[in-house]
Every structure is written in structure tokens, then in C-alpha cells.
């Protein structure tokens, strides 16, 4: 099972992540605590901050997902939808 996950992790997506986007995501990941573990989607494994950074650098499937999540968050922040969700979540 773990071997299947490793092979799946190494799978490169067809679309390359632009370097400036990688740098932005890595910079934001570096702000996270290196001692915490993070779950991503349906992957059964938890990742450290440094593992996530490495996946982003490699541009593999997990790195692609991390970039997608980060860009979604930043867009929601920019559009105000994140703030709207926070303000209305109490209701």
C-alpha cells in the first residue's frame, strides 16, 4: 500500500507549475511550523512542511495539489469570499 502511494506521489502531472508560482507557494509554506503534519485530500499519508516544499519543487502530483490549494486560498482572500465565509460561519 505504501509503495503504491510512493509511486502515485512520483507521478508528474502533464502541466508544469510556473517557477514564480512555485516560489510563492514555497515561501508561504516556509512560514508554517516544521513540526506540524498536514493532510492533503484523499492521500492516506500526512506530510511535513519540508515534504510539501519538496513536492512543490518537484512539481509532482502532490506538489500540484498543494499549489492548487494555495492559489484557491489566495483567490478567495483576494475576492473577499474567504472573509465572507468567516463572517457568516457563525450564523
Residue 26 lies in a domain: no
Domain tally, the chain:
1
The CA angle 60-42-48, to the nearest 5 degrees, is: 60
* Residue 89 φ/ψ, nearest 5 degrees: -70, -20
Residue 91 lies in a domain: no
| Ramachandran class of 59: left when φ > 0, alpha when ψ lies in -120 to 50, beta otherwise | left
Residue 25 lies in a domain: no
Q: Which residue has the higher pLDDT, 23 or 40?
A: 23
Residue 3 lies in a domain: no
C-alpha cell at 64: 500540484
| Full residue range of the structural domain in which residue 59 is found | 34-86
| pLDDT > 70 fraction of the chain, expressed in percent and rounded | 82
Residue 67 lies in a domain: yes
Q: What is the pLDDT confidence band of residue 13, given thresholds at 50, 70 and 90?
A: low
Residue 72 lies in a domain: yes
Amino acid at each position: 500500500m505504501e509503495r503504491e502511494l510512493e509511486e502515485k506521489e512520483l507521478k508528474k502531472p502533464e502541466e508544469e507549475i510556473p517557477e514564480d508560482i512555485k516560489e510563492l507557494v514555497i515561501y508561504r509554506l516556509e512560514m508554517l511550523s516544521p513540526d506540524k503534519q498536514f493532510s492533503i485530500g484523499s492521500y492516506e499519508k500526512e506530510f511535513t512542511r519540508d515534504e510539501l516544499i519538496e513536492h512543490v519543487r518537484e512539481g509532482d502530483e502532490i506538489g500540484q495539489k498543494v499549489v492548487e490549494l494555495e492559489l484557491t486560498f489566495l483567490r478567495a482572500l483576494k475576492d473577499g469570499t474567504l472573509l465572507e465565509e468567516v463572517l457568516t460561519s457563525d450564523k
